[in-house]
Amino acid sequence: MRLPESQVAVLNAASATDERTIAQLAEATDLKPETVTGAVFDLRDDGLVTVTETVEEDVELTDEGVEYADDGLPEIRLYRAAMDVGGGDAVQMGQVIGASSLGGPQVDIALSNFARKGYGHIDSGELVPDADANPDADEEAAALSALVAGETVDTDVLDQLESRNLVVRHERTIRAVTLTDEGVTALMEGVEAAETVDRLTPEMLTSGEWEDVEFTEYNVEADAPEVRGGKKHILRQTADRVKDVLVGMGFSEMEGPHADADFWINDCLFMPQDHPARTHWDRFALDVPPMEDIPEDLIDRVRSSHLNGVGDDGDGYHSPWSEDFARAVALRGHTTSLSMRYLSGHEVGELEPPQRYFSVEKVYRNDTLDPTHLLEFYQIEGWVMAEDLSVRDLMGTFEEFYSHFGITDIQFKPHYNPYTEPSFELFGRHPETNELIEIGNSGMFREEVLRPLGVECDVMAWGLALERLLMLMYGFDDIRDVHGTLCDLDLLRETEVLR
Ligand code: PHE
């Protein structure tokens, strides 16, 4: 006969003449009691063993029970004190209690049991002990001592002790196993352990073999492959958080084309058409038709700004300005193209101050790849339009913004942009290398930018690098750790951006 291994072991350890308990079988087979119990039930179902069950009661003294077993029951202490003090006569309550050295709730316990058990009665503030009472014959006291000695105790007294919370009772089922005749025969004919399998196959199900095999037990401590679900990239998570923060600061989000006319990317920004950056700079030109949808009057005002500047004493670049050049389409090198679209009124209509706008979007530059430069990255673009803005408003805005990310050490360096005056570069301290790294560029848009757009008040603006913010937050120092084929998978997996 073939049986699962645990059943074979239990069968061999069982006996036809003596009962064996589960605990004894577990000890003999070196199996866990629950495994033995399972095997015993299966063997019983196959008629190889019989099982007799008896329920035993365990009685355990509570802390209070232990205390009374040591010091005596409160009512007995009270009785003895009364007898000592009054020799059997009525005694003043206060006096007895003092003499009994009972304290706190024990006094109430003593008094209520005193009368119940016939140790005496209470009469107008006096305790009257019954001289015939015999505390040495107290059943409850005797039961407590018997329990301490491990002896059994009459059920009635146990009930009483349980109602006084001096004992707790647990029931326990003891299973005793004996071999049946069939079990003995099986053993004589020989039982072999069936092989254990760790996988149920379709073949086992169809052949019925599954009924005879033993399945290996679960090992919940075994190493298991780590399963990782998909998750949002930390750049995206951080971008989402940046958006939350800016929306919280009262900004609205801008959106617009990744491939845009040079007009919006450069001309509106008073970038001269012969600026090196516009000819052989890091620009991704696209072989697509020129952009048609640009307001004619805006083109005229921008052209005029480039040629002659703005205002009576304005001055321009005095170099040719080509409309074809302006309509040519390229991948945007910054998202300031979006700011131009919105400030011009082309996107959401004329804007009245005050206004605040932002975007967290990709930009594209034909740079050389290195630890801090990629061909594409995310820019946190933003601007505030209001009367009488100052550089202090600009700096205060950055301090507030970066503080949401735990970055408090922001430094400003004067800078030059053709479109802002004054201009500032922003620097933050890298948490690992301790170096100051550039994290953004900013300034107040100059008149040559704002007047053609039709904006009469001040506008402060900036472009911050999302990847640099990430570097300050998570301490990596190579942008390629989060982008592309060389990315640091552990960093990407383990970093959680708190929102
Ligand atoms: N466009 C600038 C850059 O890409 C950032 C900037 C935006 C600076 C607006 C000033 C004003 O670096």
Ligand 1: residue whose CA is nearest its atom 8 = 442
The pick from 423, 442, 444 for probing ligand 1's pocket by mutation, whose C-beta has the most ligand atoms within 8 angstroms, reads 442
- What ligand 1 atom has the least distance to the C-alpha of 334? 4
- What ligand 1 atom has the least distance to the C-alpha of 379? 4
User: 324 and 189, same structural domain?
Assistant: no
Q: Which of 340, 314, 355, 322 is nearest to 453 (CA)?
A: 340
User: 382 and 460, same structural domain?
Assistant: yes
Ligand 1: residue whose CA is nearest its atom 12 = 441
Contact between 361 and 341 under an 8 Å Cβ cutoff? The reply is no
Domain hosting residue 270, numbered range: 234-494
Sign of CA dihedral 372, 373, 377, 378: positive
Residue 31 lies in a domain: yes
Q: Which of 172, 187, 183 is nearest to 50 (CA)?
A: 183
- Residues paired with residue 377 on neighbouring β-strands, in sequence order: 363
One DSSP character per residue, 283-301 reads --B--SPPP--S-HHHHHH
Q: Copy the structure tokens of residue 197.
A: 């399998």
Ligand 1 centre from 127 Cα, in Å? 96
Residue 59's contacts (CB-CB under 8 Å, 6 or more residues apart) are: 147, 153, 158, 167, 168, 169
Residue 479 lies in a domain: yes
Contact between 329 and 290 under an 8 Å Cβ cutoff? The reply is yes
pLDDT attached to residue 82 = 92
ipTM of predicted assembly, 2 dp: 0.98
Among 193, 225, 245, where does a domain finish?
193
pLDDT attached to residue 280 = 60
- What ligand 1 atom has the least distance to the C-alpha of 464? 5
Amino acid making up residue 256: G
User: 436 and 353, same structural domain?
Assistant: yes
pLDDT along the chain (499 residues), means of 10: 88 91 94 93 95 91 94 94 89 87 88 90 88 91 93 92 94 92 93 85 92 80 84 91 97 97 96 81 87 96 95 86 95 97 95 96 87 87 97 96 94 96 96 94 97 97 95 88 87 78
pLDDT attached to residue 274 = 86
The secondary structure of residue 136, as a DSSP letter, is G
Residue 158 lies in a domain: no
| Rounded distance between C-alpha atoms, residue 121 and residue 400, angstroms | 80
381 annotated as ligand-binding: yes
User: 359 and 454, same structural domain?
Assistant: yes
Residue 255 lies in a domain: yes
The pick from 268, 356, 462, 468 for probing ligand 1's pocket by mutation, whose C-beta has the most ligand atoms within 8 angstroms, reads 462
The domain that contains 412 carries what CATH number?
3.30.930.10
Among 162, 193, 224, where does a domain finish?
193
Residue 165 lies in a domain: no
Judged by DSSP in three states, 410 sits in strand
User: 303 and 185, same structural domain?
Assistant: no
User: 489 and 408, same structural domain?
Assistant: yes
| Rounded distance between C-alpha atoms, residue 264 and residue 327, angstroms | 9
User: 335 and 462, same structural domain?
Assistant: yes
Ligand 1 centre from 379 Cα, in Å? 9
User: 388 and 246, same structural domain?
Assistant: yes
The domain that contains 33 carries what CATH number?
1.10.10.10
| Rounded distance between C-alpha atoms, residue 199 and residue 216, angstroms | 9
Total number of domains in the chain:
2
Judged by DSSP in three states, 175 sits in strand
User: 409 and 347, same structural domain?
Assistant: yes
The rounded radius of gyration (Å) of the Cα atoms in the chain is: 45
Ligand 1: residue whose CA is nearest its atom 10 = 442
Residue 293's contacts (CB-CB under 8 Å, 6 or more residues apart) are: none
For tokens 């308990």, name the residue.
21
Residue 215 lies in a domain: no
For tokens 């430069």, name the residue.
373
User: 262 and 370, same structural domain?
Assistant: yes
Ligand 1 binding residues, C-beta < 6 A = 334, 336, 417, 420, 441-443, 461-463
Cis bond upstream, residue 414 (ω within 30): no
Ligand 1 centre from 69 Cα, in Å? 86
380 annotated as ligand-binding: yes
User: 367 and 426, same structural domain?
Assistant: yes
Ligand 1 centre from 446 Cα, in Å? 13
- What ligand 1 atom has the least distance to the C-alpha of 443? 10
Ligand 1 centre from 442 Cα, in Å? 6
Q: Copy the structure tokens of residue 60.
A: 């355990």
User: 390 and 263, same structural domain?
Assistant: yes
Which alpha helices (DSSP H) does 30-154 contain, by range?
A: 33-45, 63-71, 74-86, 93-100, 105-116, 139-148
Ligand 1: residue whose CA is nearest its atom 4 = 334
Among 161, 193, 225, where does a domain finish?
193
379 annotated as ligand-binding: yes
445 annotated as ligand-binding: yes
Using CA atoms, how far residue 159 sits from 136, 152, 189, 371, 461, in Å, is 20, 13, 52, 80, 84
Ligand 1 centre from 497 Cα, in Å? 26
pLDDT attached to residue 466 = 95
**How close are the terminal C-alpha atoms of the chain, in Å?**
64
**Cα torsion through 439, 441, 443, 449, rounded to 10:** -150
419 annotated as ligand-binding: yes
